[in-house]
């Protein structure tokens, strides 16, 4: 009796010993900042000396700040417009990369994945170089075909297009791999049965593959939604948020407010709203994936 008691005691100590390093660092650099962030949002903190309680002033200011609404709206629009491409392009790649009609699939997979390895900043720079207004490859080709060179960086729609192009380019390989996992999990017998019953490949795709891929598709939708909403480093390689603030998305809005304009308190209030948005998405993810698990 006493023996098993000390045994458990030792295991308790061992458990906390094993988790302590991770737990301490997680407290210091995640949980404490989480609490501080909410705390700062009720102050006029400037990141240096000034730190006074100001109640809800930051939130009141935020709800009247046109630039905040623009940044948030711009981020949502950017996310919604890009979402279909983030799903369908990788799905198409995954279908090709698992098709029995494609030879040398391993190499194809490797090549498509390579852009995923680049840092977001370098992704931005690489694509920006092709779209640079003077001496860029794309403008060169446009002129060769008799068109007029486009001001990719000066027009907000064109700039957003370049950013979107870079973002899709860099993530397609990653989501392709996720889709490939889903596709290889589909029971071969089902596909064979369909083909014996005379279904053509289009029918098989729309009536068997696509419905069975629903959980994978949902995962890709969620991951790309989160990653689109927090797009930041890539934009620094393309437009740095310009022209004006026209490609400044919400994370950059927070960081610029905080570290450039030294409005830590105000930036924390905006962060808090962003956290709630991300929290809701994560909650939906948790709900849906749990329901999927019960089936």
Partner 1 sequence: MKEARTDMGNTIHARRKTLGMTIVAYGICLIMVFPIIWLVFSSFKGAGELFAYPLHLLPRHFTVSNYTKVFENGFFRYIGNSMYLAIVGTLITLVISSMCGYALAVYRFELSYTNKVFAVFLLGTLIPGETLTIPQVSVISFLGLYNNIWGVILPVVTTTTGIFLFRQHYMSIPLSFVEAARIDGSSEFRTFASVMLPLGTSPLITLAIFSFMWRWNDYILPLLVLSNQENYTIQIAIKNYIGFNGVDWSSILSASVISIIPVIVIFIVLQRYFMEGIAAAGVKE
Site for partner 1 in 230-249 (CB under 8 A): 230, 232-233, 236-237, 240
Query: For the chain, what is the largest distance between any 2 Cα atoms, rounded to a whole number of angstroms?
Result: 90
Q: Which of residues 64-93 bind partner 1 (CB under 8 A)?
A: 93
CA atoms within 13 A on the CB side of 192: 3
Min CB(120)–partner 1 separation in Å: 6
Is 30 a binding residue for partner 1 by CB under 8 A? The answer is yes
Helix ranges (H only) for 132-213 are 137-144, 156-184, 188-196, 201-204, 210-212
Rg of the chain over Cα atoms, rounded to whole angstroms, equals 25
Is 23 a binding residue for partner 1 by CB under 8 A? The answer is yes
Query: Measured between alpha carbons, how far is 233 from 255 in angstroms, rounded to an integer?
Result: 11
Write the interaction track for partner 1 spanning residues 127-166; mark x where CB under 8 A is met and - where it is not.
xxxx-x-xx-x--x--xx----------------------
Q: Which of residues 247-276 bind partner 1 (CB under 8 A)?
A: 251, 254-255, 258-259, 264, 267-268, 271, 274-275
Compare residues 12 and 80 and give the one whose CB is closer to partner 1.
12
Secondary structure (3-state) at 198? coil
Is 206 a binding residue for partner 1 by CB under 8 A? The answer is no
Min CB(171)–partner 1 separation in Å: 9
Q: CB within 8 A of 224, min separation 6: which ones?
A: 82, 83, 86, 87, 171, 175
Provide φ and ψ at 246, rounded to 5°.
-65, -20
Q: CB within 8 A of 150, min separation 6: which ones?
A: 133, 138, 139, 142, 158
Q: Which of residues 96-125 bind partner 1 (CB under 8 A)?
A: 96-97, 99, 101-105, 107-115, 117-122, 125
Stretch that binds partner 1, among 53-61, 126-134, 189-197, 207-215 (CB under 8 A): 126-134
């Amino acid at each position: 009796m006493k023996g098993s008691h000390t045994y458990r005691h030792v295991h308790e100590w061992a458990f906390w010993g094993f988790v302590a390093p991770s737990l301490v660092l997680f407290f210091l650099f995640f949980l404490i900042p989480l609490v501080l962030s909410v705390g700062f949002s009720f102050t006029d903190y400037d990141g240096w000396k000034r730190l006074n309680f100001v109640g809800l002033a930051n939130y009141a200011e935020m709800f009247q700040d046109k630039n905040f609404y623009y940044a948030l709206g711009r981020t949502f629009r950017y996310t919604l417009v890009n979402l279909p491409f983030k799903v369908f392009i990788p799905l198409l790649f995954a279908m090709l990369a698992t098709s029995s009609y494609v030879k040398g699939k391993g190499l194809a997979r490797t090549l498509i994945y390579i852009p995923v390895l680049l840092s977001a900043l370098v992704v931005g720079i690489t694509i920006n170089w092709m779209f640079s207004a003077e001496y860029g490859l794309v403008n060169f080709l446009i002129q060769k075909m008799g068109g007029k060179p486009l001001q990719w960086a000066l027009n907000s729609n064109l700039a957003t297009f370049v950013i979107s192009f870079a973002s899709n380019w860099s993530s397609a390989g990653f989501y392709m791999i996720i889709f490939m996992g889903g596709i290889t999990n589909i029971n071969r017998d089902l596909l064979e049965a369909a083909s014996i019953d005379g279904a053509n490949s289009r029918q098989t795709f729309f009536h068997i593959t696509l419905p069975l891929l629903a959980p994978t598709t949902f995962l890709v939708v969620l991951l790309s939604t989160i990653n689109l909403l927090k797009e930041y480093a890539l934009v620094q390689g393309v437009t740095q948020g310009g022209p004006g603030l026209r490609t400044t998305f919400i994370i950059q809005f927070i960081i610029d407010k905080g570290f450039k304009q030294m409005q830590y308190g105000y930036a924390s209030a905006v962060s808090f709203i962003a956290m709630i948005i991300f929290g809701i998405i994560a909650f939906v993810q948790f709900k849906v994936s749990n329901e999927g698990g019960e089936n």
